[in-house]
Amino acid sequence: MIDLHTHSIFSDGELIPSELVARAVDHGYKAIAITDHVDSSNLTSVVPNVVRVANDLNRYWSIVVIPGVEITHVPPEMIADIAKEARSLGAKVVLVHGETIVEPVRKGTNRAAIEAGVDILAHPGLIAEEDVILAKERGVALEITARKGHSLTNGHVAKMALKHAASLVINTDTHAPDDLTYRFMAEKILKAAGIGESDISGIFKNSEDIVLKLQI
């Protein structure tokens, strides 16, 4: 299992990064990204802290720990600049908090994230077909999520992505210990989204490819 969307106490998660990663190891994870929520108020404090702990843990543990961010509830016009700054500070994977139907995310966030070339558009809700096509062209992965609430639109995201051969990944959006999952449960979530057996292995490979590209 590779999970590229989790949160620690650096934003609204319950665990310090070391315990989050320790629990991921216990779940059999091969890699985990710590992607705390950021906007312009906390970016310069969160990223260096996550980078530091990721470097420490990567020295001693076999799991790959990836420092990242989830750009959250910022004006769409700011997304590209914040993504660029996050990368300059050391974030290896950049997510944007997509237009989930259970939060008041600004319209246009999905498109702005894709145009900014982020790595993953998290829980993109009722994403427009033209945005899925653009995500395919720009190499932005769309997320199938295990997170309650956000997962309500997994079926729509899966249908649109499969129709246009856009990249899909599955993540937990972990905030608490019980949010981490196992590979067999992730497979069930993908099946529940309408994804067939023949496509499931490719979705897990998409996450592997992102990790390989990062060269952690």
Q: pLDDT, tens digit, for every residue of 67-79?
A: 999 999 999 999 9
Residue-level pLDDT at 216: 63
Contact 162, 208 (CB under 8 A): no
Report the C-alpha dihedral over residues 60, 178, 103, 191, rounded to 10 degrees.
Answer: 100
- Confidence tier at 214 by pLDDT (50, 70, 90): confident
- Model pTM greater than 0.75? yes
- What is 2-214's CATH number? 3.20.20.140
Nearest Cα neighbor of 152 from 187, 185, 103 is: 103
Please give the average per-residue pLDDT across 169-189, as a whole number.
98
What is the domain partition of the chain in residue ranges?
A: 2-214
pLDDT tens track for 90-100: 999 999 999 99
Nearest to 33, CA basis, from 46, 48, 50, 49: 50
Beta bridge partners of 140: none
Helix and strand numbers (H, E) in the chain are 8, 7
Nearest-angstrom CA–CA distance, 166 and 39 = 27
